Structure 1
Amino acid sequence: MRLTRTLCAAAALLVATAAGTAAPAAGVNPPKIPTVFLGDASVAGWGIAPVDPGGLLCVRAQENLPDVVEDQLADQAILLDITADVSCAGAALHHVWEEQDLGGGARAVPQKRALTKETRLVVAGLGAGTAGLGQVLKQCSQRLRGTEGSHLPDAPVDAASPAGKCAAYFASGAGADWLERRFEQTGKDLDKLFSEITSESPSAKAVLVGYPRLVPKDRARCRAALPGGTERPLADVPEAAWGFLDTKVQARLNSLMAAKAKEHKAHFVDLYAATGAATACDGTDRAVGGLLEPSGVTLLHQRLPWLLAADETGRDGNGDTVAQSIAAMYGHGPA
């Protein structure tokens, strides 16, 4: 995708000129913006083939969210110079300033190492790992606790508590206390994320990207099997937990991320609000892969499950939303 950005930018300039909109002088390209992408699987493109050989252990797709954002912005003559995309599946907020264990003795250096004084735009997509989404899913799915969940390294919060009763587990007592601590830590780590960005790249604009919605408002749609199969989008996660997953985990995380971005005068991209009609439960219109639906990536002779990550359709839609939001930040299009 990045190979098309120059042509896209040129086309955008011609369109702008034809429409009577101010454009740079002939032969003068707009300056490129030194940009760094930080993030977890949502930025890296978990499940989307092919995987970038340079980011194999991070399961980073060759064409992921940053590629789509770059191309979409080029259409509006906003050119990015992506100096680094260090997104990595499994990353939590603290992996911005601490090493990430990739297994087998391999480790990823802190993501903030990619930031420099010359960086002018930082796009970050992290938070779900710190809030404990993976642990919540394993608490609510007996199948994820077995071999089918081997690619989700998180452990259930309390393996002694039945997966089928996870909604009640998180509603009070130890489960509720655990969730409160996770969100408290997420808030603190978001504060530190913005502090690290300011420290390493004081002249950069910061953009925090939220997560696409997983469960629709009409949760009955989650009862239907995925197209062409018998697997349900949320696999064996009990129906009693669907509302909890949406409102008490995802929507709460989205609100926290938006509030912290505002507090630190950063820009927030609300994917949760923009993706309600393309959740994991929306059949052929879904932009999120089912929990245990096979993805397009095979590692060590095993097909990775989507684990509720954005598929190619979701990547493109999310990338377009992020690009439009960033364009508005630079004065292009509606705010």
Structure 2
Amino acid sequence: MRKTTTPTARRLAVAAVALGSFLALVGPTAAAGAAPADPVKTVFFGDSYTANYGIAPVNNQDNEKLFCFQATQNYPAVATKRLADNGITFDVQSDISCGGALVEHFWKEQELFGGIGKVPAQQDALKEDTQLVVGGVGGNTVGFTSVIKQCSAKLRGDEGALLPGSPVDPESPAAECKTFFESGDGKEWLDYQFERVGGDLEEMLLRMSYRAPDAERVLVGYPRLVPQDTTKCSTAAPGQTELPFADIPQDALPVLDQVQKRLNDVMKKAAADDGADFVDLYAQTGTNTACDGADRGIGGLLENSKLEVGQPLPWYGHPNEKGRDLQAQHVAAKIEEVLNR
């Protein structure tokens, strides 16, 4: 299945074609580094952080896609508009981001929450002429929601019923989750999860190259959820009564941050090893975490989002509109850099 073209050779080929087309259009005196003249054929992929779960309205072009909770104004849509203002236009072949996606759903069909339907493997959207593939996935494969439920008694109950995943060990009290993840079975579980996500990301990036051999690939990391100063998390955001991380113990918040930082490092390495580009949102959103009050870019675990299904759905730690705009800003900047080099 895999082609043997190296990332370097592929980039040289893409650059040669792009340079030839550019010079033919504008002549030998044009400056280097100008934006592509024609719309860039683009596919967006990923999980709920690309779909921007929690932001309304939701894309409901078909009933099954409705339960991907993909916002019509997710960061791919906002970044597309932002780039158009800078003269870079997209021919968006597809946005196949879907809430709950694992890395393996890039090549396997995904069963939607509650078994309400299935969506095709995300790789099916890529075409031979796709020029750009952008998105992020990995948090569900690591099992971040299971980590959260291990540390929260509230989310093990009805308040977390709509959040996929189960605690890693329901017999171990939520109040002891720091110790659980730092030794014994919890640490062993985390090590296995990270080994799995690293291998799956490698497979995904190779499949992108096979399906769309001339495409630039941009892997997008996750925005930071927990601040360096976790004491900020002991205060509710303006207008809220719940703490940003609900009942998760104060001493467990650094554990959540360490899991997220480790995931970020695994994603960054996978991109570098396969010649893809990486958007390090974790490094760029440290002042817009769930605990940054009015400046928060992340909705609190039990803070009401903009979505309603009979009643408001919680954010469950996803980017709010401010966070979505930060995602779009940094992703657009990386895309512009990639397309102009």
- The TM-score with structure 2 as length reference comes to 0.87
The residue that corresponds to 2:337 in the other structure is 328
Equivalent residue for 2:171, pick from 155, 160, 173: 160
Q: Is residue 24–residue 30 contact of structure 1 (8 Å, CA) maintained in 2?
A: no
> Which stretch of the first structure deviates more once superposed, 91-100 or 68-77?
68-77
1:112 counterpart residue number: 123
Q: Is the contact made by 2:240 and 2:303 (CA closer than 8 Å) also made in structure 1?
A: no
| SS at structure 2 position matched to 1:58 | coil
Counterpart for residue 7 of structure 1: none
- Aligned partner of 2:335: which letter? I
Q: Counterpart in 2 of 1:221?
A: 232
Task: Give the Cα–Cα distance (whole angstroms) in 2 for the partners of residues 33 and 320 of structure 1.
Answer: 18
Equivalent position to 2:58, from 45, 51, 58: 51
In the other structure, the counterpart of 2:81 is 71
Q: SS state of the match for residue 176, structure 1?
A: helix
SS of equivalent to 2:256: helix
SS at match of 1:292: coil
Per-residue Cα deviation, 1:212-248 (whole angstroms, up to 9, x for no partner): 000111111011112112210000111111001102x
Q: How far does residue 302 in structure 1 lie from its aligned partner after superposition? A: 2.4
Give the deviation of 1:72 after TM superposition: 1.3
**Displacement of 1:164:** 0.9
Corresponding residue SS for 1:88: coil
Which letter maps to 2:220?
V
- Match for residue 99 of structure 1 among 109, 112, 125: 109
Question: 8 Å contact 1:124–1:208 — kept in the other structure?
Answer: yes
Q: What amino acid is aligned across from residue 252 of structure 1 in structure 2?
A: R
What is the Cα-based RMSD across aligned positions, in Å?
Answer: 1.8
Equivalent position of 1:15 in the other structure: none
Which of the numbers 183, 192, 210 marks the counterpart of 1:172? 183
Take 1:188 and 1:129, find their aligned partners in 2: how far apart are those partners?
14
CA deviations on 1:16-50 (whole Å, 9 max, x unpaired) are xxxxx95999xxx9201110011000000100011
Give the corresponding residue for 2:37: 30
Matches within 5 A, 1:101-250: 101-102=111-112, 103-247=114-258, 249-250=259-260
- Tell me the equivalent position of 2:22: none
Q: CA deviation at 1:73?
A: 1.1
Contact persistence 1:136–1:157 (CA under 8 A): yes
Give, in angstroms, the shift of residue 317 of structure 1. Answer: 1.3
Please tell me whether the aligned partners of residues 93 and 193 of structure 1 are also in contact (alpha carbons under 8 angstroms).
yes
- How many angstroms apart in 1 are the aligned matches of 2:302 and 2:104? 27
**Off by >6 Å, runs of 4+ in structure 1:** none
How far apart, in 2, do the equivalents of 1:291 and 1:56 lie? 22
Residue 296 to residue 105, structure 1, CA distance change in 2 (3 Å): closer
Q: Which residue of 1 aligns with 2:47?
A: 40
Mapped partners of 1:41, 1:298: distance in 2: 16
Report the CA distance between 1:75 and its aligned residue: 1.8
Unaligned runs of 5+ in 2: 1-29
The question of 1:294 aligning with 2:301 is answered: no
Structure 2 Cα separation of the partners of residues 81 and 225 of structure 1: 42
Choose which of 300, 304, 310 in structure 1 pairs with 2:319. 310
Q: Which residue of 1 aligns with 2:96?
A: 86
Q: Aligned equivalents of 1:198 and 1:52: distance in 2?
A: 28
Specify the alignment match of 1:12 in structure 2: none
Kindly state the Cα deviation for residue 326 of structure 1 after the two structures are TM-superposed. 1.1
Distance 1:30 1:160 in 2: 59
1:268 aligns with one of 253, 278, 286 = 278
SS at match of 1:165: helix
**What does residue range 6-25 of structure 1 map to in structure 2 within 5 Å?**
none
Partner-residue secondary structure (3-state), 2:308: strand
How much does 1:62 deviate?
Answer: 1.0
Q: Deviations over 1:234-282 (max 9, x none)?
A: 00111111001102x0111111111110000000000001100000000
Mapped partners of 1:189, 1:212: distance in 2: 21
- Distance, in Å, in 2 between the alignment partners of 1:314 and 1:110 is 27
In structure 1, how many angstroms separate the alpha carbons of the residues matched to 2:104 and 2:311?
Answer: 29
The 1-side partners of 2:31 and 2:329 are apart by 23
**Is the contact made by 1:222 and 1:234 (CA closer than 8 Å) also made in structure 2?**
yes
Which structure 1 residue ranges, 5 or more long, are not aligned?
A: 1-20
